[in-house]
Structure 1
């Protein structure tokens, strides 16, 4: 029990580093997106990304930058390439073949800079993206979406045998599980007030091995947040004023920081998409 609690706390309050990757020059034109009418202002996107990195430095995280590849328009969304917990880096397999070349440079940095154990998928039918993988510190919930299938979920389960891995059925309204739910702290789940969000909450409550606090957010895209070492990073007041009010009201004693994300939303990007957080249980950083 004590060891389990220690691992749980390390996940949220023992984050020491993050992997990030820059924005490809062809991101605006060629990045995958559900809305074909969206146009990314690249100057503003770079500004927002610099604010993101500045915040990570403010939180005293060691930043490991994977070299940007300007032939890979989605490479800044590094979360989809790997799931890193307990000293293990599970290498995902993106559903779109055009994104799979993103993996090689990420693996190099994970090996050379972090020294984690690399686990790769050995099932050709498996697809899984990190945006579908929600780790609560106690267990994994994984979205069954167009980007992740059961074969991929089974591979994740084999990579992390000490944790329960539970599939969550999703409609096509959301790209990933973390498009509508994330962790806002130890045992606190933020979830969108939407049809899918309600369904996800119901499934999690029925299948979870632990009891969580669930907080409903009025704006679906604002349900993606980050909690790092006691600080909650969430949507700005300008972009989602109603959801901003909920965060301020429900977390009165928690340090909070806000970030803009408008340009990345145009290509289905959220806060969690642009980094892989590394806890102190990774060998070279402990």
Structure 2
């Protein structure tokens, strides 16, 4: 169950962020409208949403998931791998202190972004990508082990982040695109395979019995609905232009079911 979610408004220089999408420059006002729609979708799924003001120093700062990994037992402050994002992680600490007494930190040569972390039950898959290195994966694994979680590394060869290409939808099912459609790491799960022309739609948010999905991908929508999932659709065109998916835009704080 997710009761609390943290998001950050897009900055005015949002279009100056890092992207390889080649889909044109995002419209800032439209991005703000879509961000509001995203917040409404989270609320529709039963969440209380903490909305942080835009940080104009960091064009990519609306992608708040990358600066921390959150669990029931602790929050872990990451170390972003992109040079333009270094320091961004410090701006989430005070907000996370409102929800956590245990905050851990990656150190030294570690690089890790939250978009590379896929949690399935008590296990965390850590994508080793251009943004997350082996030392980042090692340090995160050690921290997670301390709190009773397990973790393993997964190579990410062709895409930005692990969750760009695979997410957990619940009910022992993953949604996968590209290099992860035939990846042996996920062969024990049921899999919804996304066509290459709708690859962006693989990134969805599992939220309290619903899947929040991006609008405009009819084949993926049908496959997800046919698999029995309840969906909430949101428009994401301006974030797609900046290599940003639905999971990137929030930190979703899980409740401790043992309490």
Q: TM-score, normalised by structure 1?
A: 0.84
1:167 aligns with 2:149: no
Offset from partner CA, 1:32-52 (integer Å, 9 cap, x none)? 111456210112111111100
| One of 221, 226, 249 as aligned partner of 2:226 | 249
Contact 2:41 2:212 in 1 (8 A): no
**1:180, distance to aligned residue in structure 2 (A):** 0.6
Report SS of the residue matched to 1:160: helix
| One of 213, 217, 233 as aligned partner of 2:194 | 217
- Tell me the equivalent position of 1:177: 162
5+ long unaligned stretches in structure 1: 1-13, 206-210
CA distance in 2 between counterparts of 1:160 and 1:66 reads: 27
Report SS of the residue matched to 1:34: coil
Aligned length: 255
1:42 aligns with 2:24: no
Runs of 4 or more off by more than 4 Å in structure 1? none
- Tell me the equivalent position of 2:60: 74
Q: Give the 5 Å matches for 1:181-196.
A: 181-192=166-177, 194=178, 196=179
Report SS of the residue matched to 2:181: helix
* Superposition CA RMSD, Å: 1.8
Offset from partner CA, 1:104-140 (integer Å, 9 cap, x none)? 22011001x2124110012x21101000000011311
- Tell me the equivalent position of 1:144: 128
5+ long unaligned stretches in structure 2: none
Contact 1:82 1:90 in 2 (8 A): yes
CA distance in 1 between counterparts of 2:142 and 2:51 reads: 28
Report SS of the residue matched to 1:114: coil
